[in-house]
Structure 1
């Protein structure tokens, strides 16, 4: 399959969904919603919602059935965007550029940026559970809410971010880096795949296989992020290059060097594809996405 065409089509599908579902910037909360919309529509590859939809496609009998997961996919992008807003704050990574544009706190101020992130996080769960947009059963929605909350919370993304900050400029072991990557980045990627599988009515075996796939591509994604931060330019990345080293963050290249790190990313992609061995051609988009994650340039 042509992964570029697939990604463009699915990205547009997600963009249209976000525009349809997202709150309009009017009324007494206009500034708050403007700040939410600024970061949500500032660009991005929409990898997490696309993974959710692709996982559903691997199980569903029809395209329409898989596309019923669009509200969940859009909610995942809201949570990812919230994490980026907070990650860029002066108290955290203190970045002034994201996706080639000024970060949220540069435009709206630190307080409004914090609240924009809070708004996106909580509104995401409103979207997942809103019966106006969902055809999923109550049981499926509950399972997805729990899966997403666990992945985004203190034992997932937020916990990983906390450990990442606490570990800056310290001599910590590789096992700590593994925990940071699995939690800070990997957890939301894995849960995107898992949510798609749950919403598609996957069996326990299918969901378990897709969770393993998600674990492996989540690892590959963060390893490649480490590589790109060390080897690309700010223009190429759309955010500050070399920032990991300047902030004293431990990374895969710091532990293993560039070439061995590339090999480890490739191995994770190979393991992800192996996890799909019992799936037919409906999972080809997931296979192609795994390769894309390895070869991406930003």
Structure 2
């Protein structure tokens, strides 16, 4: 991942210096787990393709993920003050700059993906996937479902799954589909979608557990924020023990789907294991 981090550090070099660029870099280079790039690179390797082929696409997805975090942290959304162990973007700069930085990262993502070593048809597919999975039929849809569920005591497990299928699962699925496009294996889309759905739910359930079992220092962000925002979570509905079990069940489902693909499964196993064993 070191070579990708170096790539990420330089991918905004064409943007003119400004307070907005400073805020973009502050958030984009704040570290984090880089889970979505790892998924893309692992899937590419599983197809026998070097991870470098996915650098522009991975950077684009990381820009979209970062923009979503910047906006999620705003007072109008989750009103968080800490992200990845540092002040959130609107705290470090100001609210207007944070909004613009998020807008700019989203826009830049579509420019970045065009740097991919891919055919014109593949580039169209990549742009279409990024738009669909991050927009009003994807991640953004999950965000509004999430906001609408705040403060309600009648949220069911099924409704919660719908929130996170979109809010979390879409950006977990996106890198897997992008890898299939770059590898010319779009016939595998439906299996990758099943993997991304199950993995996204497992990931979100883990986050819900960490929110009540970890410290602020361990997570690098505010804890108990879901309770503070009166959100139903897998923990509030099921308890920590059952939620933890369910995360493992979804992880197992994702791995079983993965085994159905004609790929090098050993290339995918490390990132699967890292996700289920993560502590933050």
Query: Shorter-chain TM-score: which interval?
Result: over 0.9
- Residue segments in structure 1 that go unaligned for 5+ positions in a row: 1-9
Matches within 5 A, 1:224-263: 224-263=206-245
Partner of 2:152: 170
Do the aligned partners of 2:164 and 2:201 also contact (CA within 8 Å) in 1?
yes
- Which of 3, 6, 24 is residue 13 of structure 1 equivalent to? 3
Question: Which residue matches 1:117?
Answer: 102
Distance 1:196 1:157, change over 3 A: same
For 1:135, what is the secondary structure of its paired residue?
coil
Q: 1:195 aligns with which of 178, 193, 196?
A: 178
The answer on 1:288 being equivalent to 2:270 is yes
Confirm or deny that 1:35 pairs with 2:35. Answer: no
- SS in structure 2 at match of 1:276: helix
Q: Which runs of 5+ in 2 are unaligned?
A: none
- Give me the whole-angstrom Cα distance separating, in 2, the residues matched to 1:281 and 1:201: 13
Greater mean deviation of Cα atoms: 43-52 or 14-23: 14-23
Contact map agreement 1:75 1:124 (CA 8 A) in 2: yes
- 1:270, distance to aligned residue in structure 2 (A): 0.6
Work out the number of aligned pairs and report it: 279
Distance 2:198 2:253 in 1: 6
Contact 2:191–2:261 (CA under 8 A) maintained in structure 1: no
Q: Which residue of 1 aligns with 2:132?
A: 150
* Contact 1:24–1:33, Cα closer than 8 Å, also in 2: no
Provide the rounded CA distance (Å) in 2 between the counterparts of 1:90 and 1:43: 23
| Match in the other structure for 1:3 | none
* Residue number among 69, 77, 80 corresponding to 1:84 in the alignment: 69
* Distance in 1, Cα, partners of 2:147 & 2:19: 30
Q: CA–CA distance in 2 between the matches of 1:173 and 1:17?
A: 42
Higher mean alpha-carbon deviation, 99-108 vs 283-292, is at: 283-292
TM-score (norm 2): 0.95
